[in-house]
Amino acid sequence: MKIAIFGNSYQDEHADGLRRLFGALGRAEEVTLAIQHAYADYLRTVLGDAMPVAELFDPTCDFSAGLALSIGGDGTFLHTAFHVGDKQIPIMGINTGHLGYLSAAPLANAGAIVEAAVSGDYLVEARTMLSVSRALGPEAGNGEWPCALNEVAILRQASASMIAVDTTVDSQPLARYLCDGLIVATPTGSTAYNLSAGGPILAPSAPSWVLTPVAPHSLNMRPIVVADSAVVEVEPHSRAGFFTLSIDGMVWTLPEGTRLRIARSKFHTNVVRLRGTTFTDSLREKLLWGVAHQ
């Protein structure tokens, strides 16, 4: 089996854990390692002679694997999901970040991680994603973003006043949001930016999206949950003449008058979960859901 490995370069304090993890992977039988080129460059500085024998790959080019390991935090997981794209490779998150909500286990559990990865003794959850395309505007038809695991956010530019976001759902007018931005979040992303903006938590399997305004001008503009079969179209208006489009943390500046079409992606992300862990476990342990403060 080939395991593709993604990571970030902010892991100096986890050097011992990385040595244990890659040592165990290197000893695993019938396993081939392929490491993202940029991450391999970083690992050489951390692991030195303990650097495992591995293929190198460029994630922007075609590659294949039976499993992807994402070593880092949730941002690294989203980066991995973006590059896995339509390959549908299961992704196992190994947390070295702050929260690691999408991760299957912390780096400290290196032995259990490798055992599960090599044996295939894990569960895989198919998570729905969003796709975004330009429906109208100066560059209509020239821009398409096929997969967003967490959210699509339409935001005012940093130095601009609030924006107006004309929004339709399945071609029916919903609202003109006067706000700092509008988030369209998946169930997976409901615990990310959406939650910080006051939106609800959705169960990962819920067939829904949530639309949440960011700092709305009117207090009666509340989050709304719609079916994930719905097509959402937004047309932002701004005195600055531009607005910001953020897709899972990747950012573009687009001109006013651009209408965006947001719908369910034809791909999904296969998220690995270790046996014995549940969605509610993550809520309690990582978000302190229902935990009384001491």
Phi, psi of 101 (to 5 degrees): -60, -35
Looking at residue 272, its amino acid is V
Looking at residue 212, its amino acid is T
SS3 264: strand
How many helices and strands, by DSSP H and E, does the chain display? 6, 18
d(CA 88, CA 81): 9
Nearest alpha carbon to residue 46 among 68, 72, 81, 17: 17
d(CA 189, CA 182): 14
Using an 8 Å Cβ cutoff, are 65 and 6 in contact? no
Which positions are annotated as active-site residues? 74
SS3 139: coil
Give Cβ neighbours of residue 281 (< 8 Å, ≥ 6 apart).
Answer: none
Phi, psi of 187 (to 5 degrees): -60, -40
CB atoms within 10 A of CB 189: 29
d(CA 249, CA 52): 31
d(CA 284, CA 253): 37
Query: What string of DSSP letters covers 55-95?
Result: EEE-TTS----SEEEEEESHHHHHHHHHHHGGG---EEEEE
